[in-house]
Structure 1
Amino acid sequence: MTLFTCKPSAFLLALSFAATAAAAANDPPQADPAAVPPGYSTVITGTTHDFDYFMGSGWLATQHRLKATGVGSKEWDTFSATLCATPYLGGMVTVDEMDMPSKGTSGLTLRSFDPAKRQWSIYWISSRDGLLETPAMVGGFHGNHGEFYSEDRDAQGRPIKVRFLWNLNDHDHARWEQAFSYDNRTWETNWTADFVRGDRAKLCDDGRPRR
């Protein structure tokens, strides 16, 4: 018995190549495991006074959060928040609680300072699940600029490198930014917060945002 066979036509080959190229163009960039994105470091140091700036006041924040990460989204969600910070152990530990009323949620930032490494470790706990998120972001401030980095996975389980940037613009204004790197070459900023100092007596009750 003879089977009928034929070679694929040039047209079919072209269609196959175009489909493969289109699929590749939509795939997320592949990370080079031997590379790191610009500035990435887990040895940045600071001092126990890095977060003194935030103590003793309440803060009003305008938050901007990217609606989807790692897909080239340009859509941002904007909302307000109130933050109150309290130091412990002589300033070696700080706790911030941030209330986001329009989201019906709040979060707590726990920071601890390792005097041997001269580094802060920063952890986040959301009221949605009460879980301490790990690994910690590590780093510190040089002057009015702070940098903190870590490796993690995003909400979809994709491996990422994470960056926090702090800029203390003046006595009453600060800015925080979060960025992810999916390809170990570029950063995508996905969350920013602009803070304005407020009256702690009006904004906070016992170190927590007034609700």
Structure 2
Amino acid sequence: MISRLRGTVLEKGAEDATIDVAGVGYRVNFSGLALGKLPAEGHPVDVRIRTVVREDAFELFGFLSPGEEQVFQLLNEVSRVGPRLALTVMSGMETPELVAALSRGEVARLAKIHGVGKKTAERLVLELKDKVKNIHLEAVARGTAPAPVSGTQSDLVSALLNLGYKQPQAEKAAQLAGERLGAEASFQALFREALKALRSGG
């Protein structure tokens, strides 16, 4: 099975991209957010791949970070959620935000993602609320585009709680990270700074 592709972006469509590897073009499906972060046509790219084989299809699904791939796999384990719907879910929210929303059971927020709906959101929370705690949050943060700082503080605290830190520790580290990096900092930058603060004792 194909697990990684390193080549050149040949074409970019609305839901997929064709990657040229040594003269062979591979059509790879991406979430809307991941597709937006791919390099422009003609530029080199290195993506992680999950191959899905069915009786009527052989499809490739691409990811820009290990965390994205982990979330995709978990979403696929949910009843009545296939790879296409998994990408739809991932298109509606940056990966760290999605992990935080699932871990906090935010059904209403998940239901607002286009194509998801309340019943699917409830099923996602029911089946994944505990499982997402095993995701390596540092891997999720890497390779993710900046998320708006508005509402990021609570996501940051949630991410640190998922790594096993206590509430007071997580809140203090999140506050320190915000003070050090400022209001315009991205989620992943704040996350790294918070971890640094925790590991150095503040």
TM value normalised by structure 2: 0.22
Structure showing greater Rg: 1
Normalization by structure 1: what TM-score? 0.22
Query: Counting strand residues as a fraction of each chain, which structure ranks higher?
Result: 1
Higher relative contact order (CA 8 A, sep 6+): 1
